[in-house]
Amino acid sequence: MISLRRTRAVGRKEFLHILRDWRSLLSALAVPLLLLLLFGYALTLDVDRIPTYVCDQDGSPESRDLIERFRGSRYFEVRAMVSSHARIEQAVDREEILIGVAIAPGFGKRLAASQKADVQLLVDGSDSNTASLALNYAESLMLAYSGEIRSQALNRLGGGDLKAPVEVRARVWYNSELKSRNYIVPGLIAVILMIITALLTSLTIAREWESGTMEQLLSTPVRPSELLLGKLSAHFTLGMADMLISLGVGVAVFDVPMRGNLLLLFFTSAIFLFGGLCWGIFLSAVTRTQLLAYQTAVISSFLPAFLLSGFVFSIENMPWVVQMVTYLVPARYFVTILKGIFMKGVGLDVLWLEVVLLIIYAVVLFLVAARKLRQKVV
């Protein structure tokens, strides 16, 4: 039978230790703010204002009209007009631009004669994803321009307007402005909580062994489960404070929409936080040294949460073997929950499976940590 009195005493001891170690406390509260500001401003997947050079060897009204289309698009930033292909190639080699547009001589005459007119696109393919997006934007712009030219030519011949057989009307749900920040910042909360919780608690048991206070705890009537819950309670409070900081910065500073239920957000965050704390306690009990516990916590918390949770990289595009591994990463389910609550405003009717899996994860880690701690103290 777990004694609340003994558990409370252990929790008070751990809480006082946290307050006295003001450097660690300040670090634990400042790290979420620093990570959010750093990733929120620096990490972006938006591809716009693409640096562009244009080589217009035609100089016709039609070529100038096409160039103005590039200037007017938010996806391109025409930095200079150059006189040769060689200048574009040099700029690409020096990483001054991402894409170059070369308009061949006779472009305007060919369009006026309803003939095929060539435009060459030179793209820096070093970053294949960005290059592919830039190429798609440029091709879409020129296809739209080509359609207008054909429609105008048909009008001049008295044939009426040229209408496309299929008219596409796109409607973007949940993130209409297509800002990557709106889904990066909620995912950051999962990464931050995983890092903070694993790092904080991974040192606590190891510190007791290294300082010699574990022997004093063993001489008391405190049971392993009471020791575990007591230590978790203090760090849980600190973790929820980090959660509040992350939420406030995400909504107030980065203007991320919060469409869902706040109670559901805090409930699921508490479950994920509890599981992460148990994982840190388990690592601390296994390693028994602070240095090894810290290194193991970084490898087992930050890397999976960042790479295998769907936070930045799409899980569907990963090899199937890696996709199977992601099912063992709890941050995957929490990231799904965060994006559902923040962006879509959905509730348990949609997210119930992820919530159940998080509960299972937290319970299993608590039992494993308690068992390992019992083995260490017996």
Q: pLDDT tens digits for 36-75?
A: 888 777 776 667 788 999 998 888 888 888 889 889 888 8
pLDDT given at position 184: 81
The span from the CA of 176 to the CA of 172, in Å, is 5
Helix/strand number for the chain, H first, E second: 16, 4
| Residue 245 half-sphere exposure toward CB, CA atoms < 13 A | 20
Assign domain 50-156 one CATH number from 1.10.10.60, 3.40.1710.10, 3.40.1260.10, 3.10.129.10: 3.40.1710.10
Strand partners, 99: 52, 123
The span from the CA of 264 to the CA of 179, in Å, is 24
Tens of pLDDT, residues 134-158: 888 888 888 888 777 777 766 666 5
169 phi and psi angles, rounded to 5 deg: -120, 100
52 phi and psi angles, rounded to 5 deg: -135, 140
The span from the CA of 245 to the CA of 253, in Å, is 11
DSSP states of 107-159 as a string? HHHHHHTT----EEEEE--SSHHHHHHHHHHHHHHHHHHHHHHHHHHHHHTT-
155: amino acid identity, one letter: N
Tens of pLDDT, residues 292-321: 877 888 788 878 888 888 887 788 888 889
Helix, coil or strand: residue 319: coil
Helix, coil or strand: residue 219: coil
Strand partners, 122: 100
Query: Domain segments of the chain: what residues?
Result: 4-44+179-377, 50-156
**pTM summary value:** 0.77
